[in-house]
Amino acid sequence: MAERFASEQKKCAGILTELSADKNKINHVIVGVGININQTADDFDDEIQTTATSLAIENKAKAKRIIFLQTFLLNFENRYEQFKIDRLLSMHSKLRNYSSLLGKEITLTNGKETISGKVRDINQDGALLLESCGKTQVIHSGEVTIVKQ
């Protein structure tokens, strides 16, 4: 899991997942991770300088990328092995703690359907609980965009 920084409104990493599933079976999940490790503020375009950061900026020191990658992959594998045992049960509180979506207004696109609302929680299956039009919906998948305030 990522660390929380003093500048909590800035993002140093992102995760993108793509799922292939049938009605009762997950075929596969592809996980892509992007991490800003040694970028300086000047490395970011003007339009994202207020929202993007890096580990080097936040820790005020460059990281050794090979050591970071080794540690990341070891932790990822350990979390995956735990996931195979209890799904998200042991990670649920951390998932909620590190989520950048809780309490945010979002737009969610799933195929041709687009809904907007406020993210109220993440359940133990990892689904978003989205309040929209006075009702709470359970959202399992879709493309999320945070609405700028």
The domain defined by 1-86 carries CATH number 3.90.850.10: no
Lowest-confidence region among 1-10, 73-82, 94-103: 1-10
Identify the H or E element spanning 17. strand 13-22
Say if residue 100's pLDDT is above 90: no
Domains 1-86 and 100-149 equal at CATH topology level: no
What integer is the mean pLDDT of 104-111?
94
What CATH number does the domain located at 100-149 have? 2.30.30.100
- The predicted pLDDT at position 2 comes to 45
- The predicted pLDDT at position 121 comes to 97
How does pLDDT run across 125-144, given as a tens digit for each residue? Answer: 899 999 999 999 999 888 99
* pTM score, whole prediction: 0.75
